[in-house]
């Protein structure tokens, strides 16, 4: 039997409850989701790719249907290397959709086998972004309902020292 596998790629700096929700809900559609932590040259991350992957591995520990990996370079090249041509992308806002549709078309041009599946974020997570969460934690706020306790602990260590 052929497995339905998707790649959910992103910077995950840090992973939010919105990211977790998309990945968990996608397991109702896919047999396996590869969470691919990107080394993003255009952003200044606060966590190394390995630290972000470690947080995600902790969050999904014991779930054999979620694999966490790190990649650098074009997502299309990573997908080819893995032999997986379905990309899963979360959408919070129309701005996300505009950006993601451009990326999907560029990826499809580079690799015609690639298909992008969009999943809308549940309303209670639509306001979450990694940058907002970093600011909340940096100024002494709490992350309950926005980030996993593993992520909150790591953010507090990093931003409140």
Residues annotated as catalytic are 19, 43, 92, 130
Scan for tokens 């379905």, then name that residue.
Answer: 86
Residue 67 is given by DSSP the state: E
Q: What count of residues does the chain have? A: 161
Residue 125 is given by DSSP the state: G
| Structure token digits, residue 136 | 């909340």
Scan for tokens 């934690």, then name that residue.
Answer: 137
CB-count exposure of residue 33 (10 Å: 0-12, 13-18, 19+): buried
Neighbours of 120 (CB within 10 A): 15
């Amino acid at each position: 039997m052929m497995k339905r596998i998707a790649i959910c790629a992103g910077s995950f700096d840090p992973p939010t409850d919105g990211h977790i929700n998309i990945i968990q809900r996608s397991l109702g559609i896919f047999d396996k989701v590869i969470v691919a932590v990107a080394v993003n040259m255009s952003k200044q991350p606060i966590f190394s790719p390995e630290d972000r992957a470690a947080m995600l591995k902790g969050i999904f520990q014991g779930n054999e249907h979620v694999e966490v990996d790190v990649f650098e370079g074009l997502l299309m090249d990573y997908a080819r290397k893995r032999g997986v041509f379905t990309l899963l992308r979360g959408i919070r806002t129309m701005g996300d959709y505009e950006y993601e549709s451009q990326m999907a078309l560029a990826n499809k041009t580079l690799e015609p086998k690639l298909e992008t599946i969009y999943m809308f974020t549940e309303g209670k997570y639509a306001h979450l972004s990694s940058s907002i969460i970093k600011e909340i934690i940096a100024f002494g706020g709490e992350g309950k309902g926005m980030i996993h306790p593993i992520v909150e602990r790591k953010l507090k260590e990093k931003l409140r020292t």
